[in-house]
Structure 1
Amino acid sequence: MQSLSATHAKSLLLLSTILCTLNLVVTEQGFCSAISSVTDSNSNCNPLYSKVINPTLNPSHLQDLPGFTRSVYKSDHALITPESHVFSPLPDWSNTLGAYLVSPAMGAHFVMYIAKMQESAKSGCPPKDVERFVFVLQGSVTFTNVSGVGQTLMVDSFAYLPPNSEHLFESYESATLVVFERRYAYLENHVPEQIVGSTDQQPLLDTPGEVFELRKLLPTSLPYDFNIHIMDFQPGEFLNVKEVHYNQHGLLLLEGQGIYRLGDSWYPVQAGDAIWMAPFVPQWYAALGKIPTRYLLYKDVNRNPL
């Protein structure tokens, strides 16, 4: 009987190992859907963008090393990594902690921050003539515009609010947002409109000479003075163009890992890392690791640099 019990135990152990291996293979093939992360609580697949909310250091033995950070700030770029985030109450928001990752103090003409909304949290309004873009990273929020119409925004959903437009974001449970704000550059006879959508609703665009997949979350028309891009790379893919241009960038790595060149420096990066790129800093990216890379990228557009 002991021999049969031992054999049975070994069989169960082998079956468990096989199932774990199969689960690992499945979850490493690509992104988990936002739908499964919200509706299927029994799924073994991590929620979309979970590593932005619960980042890990790599290698893990550096996780608790006193004084260790991968964050870097230079005159023409910055890498802000999760272990150096400093959260404090977000001005004019209720029950919300914020961490500013990019601001004019760096030399940027926009701000980028993480907003962690707690239960029953509410957003504040940006300053006068400031436009706002909100992208949901975790949980869900209710968005209400000046007309009083409410919409639920899930993970991977976004909203663009023109300057001086009344609106409100509310969370009934915890939610995490990444927010971009900048003073709108007015252009005569052109007025931007409110935009609400989700990444999967945006079409893939042609990228001549490049291999990555590109989606633009805002219209490319003149009323809009910036855009937000979602860029997807398969492991091993990289930018062909070594970019040097007058536009500024704010970037949040949503999934995956890789190497980013900024100026003369080369940085290992992973989900949860944020980057600011000043005008004309040389920039280049290659995706590494076993899962695809996805990042969200701010870019100023449609205005003469003079």
Structure 2
Amino acid sequence: MLCFISFSSYSSQLLLLLLLLPWGTVLPALGAEEYCSAGPSIIDSTSQPLYWKATNPTLSPTHLQDLPGFTRSVYKRDHAIITPESQVFSPLPNWINTLGAYLITPAMGAHFTMYLAKMQDDSRSGLPPKNVERFLFVLDGSILLSNSSEMSHKLPVDSYAYLPANVEHMLKCRKSAILVIFERRYVSVNNASPEQIVSTTDKQPLLETPGEVFELRKLLPTSAPYDFNIHIMDFQPGEYLNVKEVHYNQHGLLLLEGQGIYRLGDSWYPIQAGDAIWMAPFVPQWYAALGKTRSRYLLYKDVNRDPL
């Protein structure tokens, strides 16, 4: 079944057929349900907050929910998929009343970390290590960001902040919030100094994507002081990447909305909101959006530095 075996075992003709068929017909064993559906529910997902599916994911199809040992998570030499049922939360070092789950770390071969932070009542953040920059994106709830200049910013869902390395700051939460955070050791060039940025996704313009159909927003400036960027990419059902990418950049991805198929190396994976992906340099990668709703993912990408 598509739910738990790699597409690499199928013929190329069958693979093409699967991609062209509606999602519901790909999985006849599930009846009228979609892959990401957990069956009938009294909850109307259309009334839920933005990114609700990413923070309250369907862990598996109905008939697999109680199957011991089942997971869609995969870890290989040049890529990994960390799905919600595999995420392990524990107290974050130097944070108060906050649980974290590390999704990507240098132990994989990455040069950055990506983790979820679940802030609870009266929680506070710690600082990154010396010379480490931080990017945070609010998935659920809201937080208060304060810095050494005594300025404060309230960050609701879909807000984000970039904190340069060694900048004093604190994140506070009175009730609860869920953040996705990226950190990496800053690589300086020509004594350039990036600036703190606080904004929201909807304030960023749509950028042209020649030869592609997806919608793209870049959350950070493209200028030389910034050694990585965060992209928000939107796909309508049936849309896909035109370029089958193979490049030197590393990626960390969190699917915020929707579902689809991701190719990594020679394997093809069904993914849904809440899944995280690490892509090493030069791993072949490609995405197609399936289902009935928009796919949106948040993507880390290192930029503006010579790979030497």
* TM-score in terms of structure 2 length: 0.85
Q: Work out the CA distance in 1 between the residues paired with 2:46 and 2:77.
A: 43
Aligned residue pairs, count: 265
Q: Work out the CA distance in 2 between the residues paired with 1:176 and 1:64.
A: 26
Note the 1:140-289 alignment, pairs <5 A.
Answer: 140-289=142-291
Q: Work out the CA distance in 2 between the residues paired with 1:56 and 1:63.
A: 9
Q: Secondary structure at the match of 1:126?
A: coil
Q: Which residue of structure 1 lines up, in the alignment, with residue 21 of structure 2? A: none
State the 1:60 CA deviation: 2.0
What is the Cα-based RMSD across aligned positions, in Å? 1.1
Identity rate of aligned residues, in percent? Answer: 75
Q: Work out the CA distance in 1 between the residues paired with 2:218 and 2:46.
A: 30
Q: Which residue of structure 1 lines up, in the alignment, with residue 109 of structure 2? A: 107
Residue by residue, what CA displacement relative to the aligned partner does 1:259-287 show, whole Å, maximum 9, x if unpaired? 00000000000000000000000000000
**In structure 1, what residue type is equivalent to 2:114?**
M
**In structure 2, what residue type is equivalent to 1:54?**
N
State the 1:44 CA deviation: 5.8
Q: Work out the CA distance in 1 between the residues paired with 2:201 and 2:210.
A: 21
Structure 2 unaligned regions, length at least 5: 1-43
**In structure 1, what residue type is equivalent to 2:252?**
G
Note the 1:114-129 alignment, pairs <5 A.
Answer: 114-129=116-131
Q: Which residue of structure 1 lines up, in the alignment, with residue 139 of structure 2? A: 137
Q: Work out the CA distance in 2 between the residues paired with 1:209 and 1:48.
A: 29
State the 1:51 CA deviation: 1.1
**In structure 1, what residue type is equivalent to 2:176?**
S
Q: Which residue of structure 2 lines up, in the alignment, with residue 91 of structure 1? A: 93
Q: Secondary structure at the match of 1:304?
A: coil
Q: Work out the CA distance in 2 between the residues paired with 1:240 and 1:66.
A: 38
* TM-score in terms of structure 1 length: 0.85
Mapped pair 1:67 → 2:32: no
State the 1:61 CA deviation: 1.7
**In structure 1, what residue type is equivalent to 2:135?**
F
